[in-house]
Structure 1
Amino acid sequence: MQVPTVTAGDAPAPPPFLPPLWRQPEYMRLWTAQVIGNLGGHASGIAYPLLVLALTGSPKAASVVSVLHILPYLLLCLPVGALVDRWNRRRVMLTCHAGRMLAVAVLVAASARGGLSLPLLYAVAVVEGVCMVFFNIAETAALPRVVPTPQLARATAQNQAGFGVSAVLGPALGAWLFEAGGHAAPFVLDLACHAVAALQLWRLRTSFVPQPAVGRRHLGAEVMEGLRWLWRERLVRDIALITGVVNMVQAAVPLLLIVLARQHGASESQVGVVFSCGGAGAILGALVGPWVQQRLPFGPALIGVLVIEAAVFPLFALGQGAWSLGLVYGVIMFVGPVYNVLQFSRRIAMIPDGLQGRVNSSFRLVAMGLNPVGAAACGWLLEHGGSGRTLALFGAVWAAVALVAWADPVLRQARQRGG
């Protein structure tokens, strides 16, 4: 038998050298814009409920701001996903920063004139929510244009780390500015952060122009194409459903933590400490996420994260002050980025580039569709049932979703490592 010879031309080509992410200017510009924009968003995000509570004393009124912030996802994310696949994604992100700057500037001007009111706060929340729909979908769809596929998991982890840094500094800065600099001070910081983030996006040189369409385009048909892709991919669909319930509980956590901390006598600055502890946990979780993603089977790792979160959540009931509440929140936020690194890197690598906006918007509709329910239910339960019953109800929901994930055969058998 003749043994075939292997020539140099038959040998597999070595994988191309990929510089570390910090040496890739385009990704770093996108990442820096995300971190700075999130810093301002977290600073103003904690100021919204504090401001409404200062004006009204009503947790239910404070929850309305959260609902209005999230509601545009339900109404707009599907058509926005199709539009983002048609439009220049960089231009969309820049427009969103401009819109949020204008809305926050109106709020700051009203505060300077002593004209703050609930209707104005609600209107600004709606405008910011609409801008966030366009921005988040465009940013997610832009990531594969600036990062090679083998580095998507690491880029996701670095994005989560940046989110954690802003989540550490933002709430502490926002609460301190609210207490020491006046009610409008956190929003002034938010305004400045949006301006700096927009400048970073302006410096991007990657082409985000979509491929020209073949034939006539119909928005409804394009939306359905993204929905059909999501529905056919059973693994991605199940992850979206599970994430939707988890996010519903997460939407209730900020207001619940503020009320719990205030019941224990915490000041505004100490409330900021609680959220900064969560941000510190998110940074550590983002560092661990790539290790988990590369070394552990996908499905069991994702289920394990959900089980840990469900087990830790009831410990909020044992909190006696800002630091103990912050410790529990830090653990929950530690495993959160691990979950995000796992599911996001797997999902983003599976979606074709021309469908990124539509599929990701479909995913977000499912994953965030219950957020207004969680935020509104938290406010209503706190006002009518107390913090103990509110905590017990959301803890039971989290335990149930962890059990459903463990019982899902598709998720349990998804054992491939990597993206």
Structure 2
Amino acid sequence: MSTAPTRLTRNRDYLAWLAADTSWQFGSAVHGFAMTLICYAVTGSYAQAGSIATVSTIVSMVVMVPGGVLVDRWDRRRSLMISGALRMVVYAAAATAWWAGVLTAPLLYAVGVASGVVTGLFSGASDAALRSVVGTADLPRAVASNQGRDGAVSLAAPPLSGLLMGASYALPFLTASIGSLLQILCTRRIRADLRPQHDRPSPGQDTWHQEMLAGFRTILGSPLLRRILPALILVNAGLNALYTGVTLILTGRGVPAWRIGLIDSVMAVGMLIGAVLAQRLISRVPTGRLVVTIFIACTAVLVPVALTQSVPVVLACFGVLGLLVPAVNGAMGGYLQAIIPDELQGRALAAMHLVQMTLPGLMPAAAGLGLQHLGAGPTMAATLILFPAAAILMATHRELRALPTPDRWEIGTVEP
């Protein structure tokens, strides 16, 4: 059973972890917004500017599972500090190259590839370390708080990045480099033991290939995870397709870009508010009931978006969606981290992230093709089917519906 929850603001290790995680996330968001625009400024090519983020994402996905093995082998403090140091050097080099007038397309692609490698190899270390920093009962509230943080980053990073680019294209890179330095400094202030706790035989007894497959075996070996993961894939795929479809339809109608951009802003504000509300909901409402209810509510909220792409309707629905996201992500994300043994955190989370990214990653292209060849009505109707399908998967699983509040969760119950 998990321990009783405590106030996160009184946990110095959590505050240090949050500062470290936010520092590199914010820096990367500033850099990520600017990267496409800088690439276009350097090359004058829309194709090259659009492909650089895709290349970085593909590289990250390729190394994600081997990265999970590293996260479970090494002290996670070391992984966090190495990743911070590598990012700091890469982004500082890019800033220096711009100031020196030698930032070319190949160098930009090298920055994108290097960033993707570091993210794929080490990003899981931060999530895996969170369980060592907070008690299991606090995991859902910590994850929900992180959702609010993500909303704040989404609001602040793009305009700041644009402002910095107005002064110098080197400044977004420099900001990302400083964020990585802050990650290192804040990680050093975490006092908790971040080494993987091996309650089972050491992973060193397995081959590298066996260790990489352990994360997938963990997912396939749990009936509950086999039900949860497809539902998460469906809802994320639906959101990606719906968001892409709505933005393309509104663009085709001549809606100004700034009004379309309000969708992200409204959802980010909703996430900020929702993160506060999620703290009480997660503690008081049984996890199974909370997750199933929110999945059904999300389906109902997004129906109007699929039926009519009126800007006020879209903004209202995505704002409500933002309110709901922190609670469901906090409850579900916290539960998944709680039931996975500590020595499997890196590999299992990497496997889940990789699987979750695959189908949703194809949805923007699918939405574009659907709008091109089928039209808005059939495409949006097809998108809408994914949400009730996910809700049905969740609502019809007895074990999931019966999940209690976090203080009564069973810890580390999933076997590799």
| TM above 0.5 | yes
Q: What is the CA-CA distance between 1:97 and the residue it aligns to? A: 1.7
Q: Which amino acid aligns with 1:181?
A: A
The within-5 A match list for 1:7-26 is 19-26=6-13
Q: What is the CA-CA distance between 1:86 and the residue it aligns to? A: 0.8
Give the stretch that moved more between structures: 185-194 or 289-298.
289-298
Instruction: Write the deviation string for residues 54-94 of structure 1: whole angstroms up to 9, x where unpaired.
Output: 67788765553343233234322222212211101111111
Residues 63 and 375, structure 1, Cα contact 8 Å, conserved in 2: no
Match of 1:192 in 2: 178
Instruction: Write the deviation string for residues 147-172 of structure 1: whole angstroms up to 9, x where unpaired.
Output: 11121122112222222222221123
**Does the residue aligned with 1:205 lie in a helix, a strand or coil?**
coil
**Does the residue aligned with 2:397 lie in a helix, a strand or coil?**
helix
Distance change >3 Å, CA 415–CA 147, structure 1 → 2: same
Q: Which amino acid aligns with 2:195?
A: V
Distance change >3 Å, CA 254–CA 49, structure 1 → 2: farther
Residues 273 and 322, structure 1, Cα contact 8 Å, conserved in 2: no
Q: Which amino acid aligns with 1:283?
A: L
Gaps of 5+ in 1: 1-14
Match of 2:392 in 1: 406
Q: What is the CA-CA distance between 1:394 and the residue it aligns to? A: 6.4
Match of 1:39 in 2: 26
Q: What is the CA-CA distance between 1:272 and the residue it aligns to? A: 6.3
The answer to whether residue 105 in structure 2 is matched with residue 141 in structure 1 is no
Q: Which amino acid aligns with 1:43?
A: V
Residues 258 and 271, structure 1, Cα contact 8 Å, conserved in 2: yes
Instruction: Write the deviation string for residues 181-239 of structure 1: whole angstroms up to 9, x where unpaired.
Output: 34443333222222222211122222223357387342222233332221121222322
Instruction: State the TM-score, normalized to the length of structure 2.
Output: 0.80
Distance change >3 Å, CA 267–CA 90, structure 1 → 2: farther
Residues 230 and 236, structure 1, Cα contact 8 Å, conserved in 2: yes
Q: What is the CA-CA distance between 1:36 and the residue it aligns to? A: 2.3
Match of 2:413 in 1: none
Distance change >3 Å, CA 330–CA 53, structure 1 → 2: farther
The answer to whether residue 276 in structure 2 is matched with residue 287 in structure 1 is yes
Match of 1:205 in 2: 191
Q: Distance in 2 between matches of 1:392 and 1:207?
A: 53
CA RMSD of the aligned region, Å?
3.9
The within-5 A match list for 1:38-117 is 38-51=25-38, 63-117=50-104
Q: Distance in 1 between matches of 2:360 and 2:107?
A: 22
State which of 328, 331, 334 in structure 2 corresponds to 1:339.
328
State which of 146, 150, 154 in structure 2 corresponds to 1:167.
154
Give the stretch that moved more between structures: 65-74 or 355-364.
65-74
Distance change >3 Å, CA 135–CA 324, structure 1 → 2: farther
Match of 1:132 in 2: 119
The answer to whether residue 383 in structure 2 is matched with residue 373 in structure 1 is no
Q: Distance in 1 between matches of 2:372 and 2:38?
A: 21
Q: Which amino acid aligns with 1:75?
A: V
Q: Distance in 2 between matches of 1:314 and 1:67?
A: 30
Instruction: State the TM-score, normalized to the length of structure 1.
Output: 0.79
Residues 74 and 365, structure 1, Cα contact 8 Å, conserved in 2: yes
Q: What is the CA-CA distance between 1:280 and the residue it aligns to? A: 1.4
Q: Distance in 2 between matches of 1:167 and 1:129?
A: 20
Q: Distance in 2 between matches of 1:265 and 1:294?
A: 45
Q: Distance in 1 between matches of 2:77 and 2:126?
A: 8
Q: Which amino acid aligns with 2:327?
A: V
Residues 304 and 313, structure 2, Cα contact 8 Å, conserved in 1: no
Gaps of 5+ in 2: 407-416
**Does the residue aligned with 2:127 lie in a helix, a strand or coil?**
helix
Match of 1:8 in 2: none
State which of 210, 215, 226 in structure 2 corresponds to 1:226.
215
Match of 1:302 in 2: 291
Distance change >3 Å, CA 416–CA 216, structure 1 → 2: closer
Distance change >3 Å, CA 108–CA 313, structure 1 → 2: farther
Match of 1:158 in 2: 145
Residues 238 and 387, structure 2, Cα contact 8 Å, conserved in 1: no
